[in-house]
Amino acid sequence: MSLESFLALLVYAFVTSITPGPNNLMLLASGVNFGIARTVPHMLGISIGFLVLLLAVGFGLGAVLAAFPALHNALKIAGGAYLLYLAWKIAMSRSLSGRGEADARPMRFIEAAAFQWVNPKAWVMAITAMAVYTNPDHPFISVALISMAFAAVNLPSVSIWAGFGTALRGFLSDPVRLKWFNIVMGVMLAATLWPMLR
């Protein structure tokens, strides 16, 4: 891979990692509701989970899904249902740090990592990166370089969203503002399904 191609890959990885999507909207809401420290496992789960998904796609899972469209459709339906469940949970959250809500908690590392496997944006990012930036003459090196590029930019990018959410905690300590913020975040998270449904 040329230096020019690698720089283009870094830009692609950065832009796709920092733009709004299910992960970043959930991190924004988690930062507001639980603070940055309690959101760290969620951030790490996203970065590690996406890296594992990226490697799996690079080493052939994408081809398996293309060969078995029913499996791909089942994954999309499961992912969509889980995304709607998460959107509902966020929209119904009513207090910072879960005070007064016994079951309110930030997403755990393993949950965030597993979510990447049903996250439509993560799949698009991974498949596109592998399709565009893989060199068929050097597939293992290409997959390694693509994975390194995403590893370098993903965690800092998603951290910005959690940090921004944490910065909003003071403003959203008012219960009415928090209620509407969480409703808007839930609706926006559900809306990320729109590209998948078209």
Q: Does a structural domain hold residue 183?
A: yes
Quote the tokens at residue 185. 């975040």
Task: Give the Cα separation of 28 and 22 in Å (integer).
Answer: 10
- Domain containing 149: what range? 21-197
Cβ proximity of 30 and 162 under 8 Å: yes
Q: How high is the pLDDT of residue 196? A: 58
- Is residue 9 included in any domain, yes or no? no
In a domain, 8, yes or no: no
Please give the tally of structural domains in the chain: 1
118-152, pLDDT tens digit by residue?
888 888 888 888 888 887 788 889 899 999 999 99
- As a 3-state breakdown, the chain gives helix, strand, coil percent values, each rounded to 5, of 85, 0, 15
Give a yes or no: residue 7 inside a domain. Answer: no
pTM for this predicted structure? 0.77
- The pLDDT > 70 percentage for the chain reads 87
